[in-house]
Amino acid sequence: MASPIEQFQVKPIIPIINFTNSSLFMIGAVGLIVGGLLYASRKRALIPGRSQSVAEILHDFVANTLTDTAGREGMKFFPFVFSLFMFVLTANLLGMVPGFFTVTSQIVVTFALALLVIGTVIIYGFVAHGLHFLHLFVPSGVPGWLLPFISVIEIISFLSRPISLSLRLFANMLAGHIALKVFGGFVVSLGTAGVGIALLSPLPLIMAVGLTALEFLVAALQAYVFTVLTCIYLNDALHPGH
């Protein structure tokens, strides 16, 4: 039986240009998104067909999430947020195909995405609001002698955002895939252990089926959580202190 963490190994496919299986699936996810959306919107019908209404539902879903948390002016970040949501969702779901590599189970990938989000927040915050953006770190109604202490805590809390954003997605995908693999391994090792014990092997199989359903839920849910938190952080950049 293979080790449950063997599936996360990054292996080079074309060593000369350092093209790995991780790169392959990232490109695959992007290609799938672009190709799928272009295919869905090829007719531009007033009354959408099946594929076009799926694309419209995805668009409206992200647009509603964004306007609910960041208001109307949040829509200027729509291309960014929609790309993030589609990439995370597609990468998560691609990882659910047996034998495929899960891009979002690599903390490098999720941390890069989170740095992109927090970098956008910081740069836009300073460009749009100047030093007023720093009011984010000065809560109101705090006694003067506590203020430096609280501000340092607020700054560390702000710096912890990209870490928690990336850690959550990474940990969910990693733990889910390891659990699936472990239960899958139980089926094999129980089945080959002997006549009496082999009767028990359907039990972990049932569990693995249940876990697969749960993993699909987690894959969609984590993409949504990532998007919502991105919207909340962008909201801080749009309205830092009023």
Q: What angle do CA 37, 28, 50 make, to 5 degrees?
A: 25
Which of helix, strand or coil describes residue 115? helix
Q: Which stretch binds another protein (CB under 8 A): 14-22, 38-46, 96-104, 218-226?
A: 218-226
Scanning 70-78, 85-93, 118-126, 216-224 for contacts with another protein by CB under 8 A, the matching segment is: 216-224
- Token pair in block for residue 242: 């009023």
Distance CA 128, CA 115 (A): 19
- The DSSP code for 101 is -
- Minimum CB separation of residue 40 from another protein in Å reads 29
Query: Smallest distance, Å, CB 88 to another protein?
Result: 15
Min separation Cβ 228 and another protein, Å: 11
The correct pick among 167, 178, 182, 220 for binding another protein (CB under 8 A) is: 167
Question: CA-CA distance, 21 to 238, in Å (whole number)?
Answer: 38
In the bound state with another protein, the residue whose beta carbon lies nearer, of 99 and 130, is 130
CA distance 186 to 196: 15
The owner of tokens 């109307």 is 72
Residue ranges that bind another protein, judged by CB under 8 A:
135-136, 138-141, 152-154, 156-161, 163-164, 167-168, 171-172, 175, 217-218, 221-222, 225, 232, 235-236, 239, 241-242
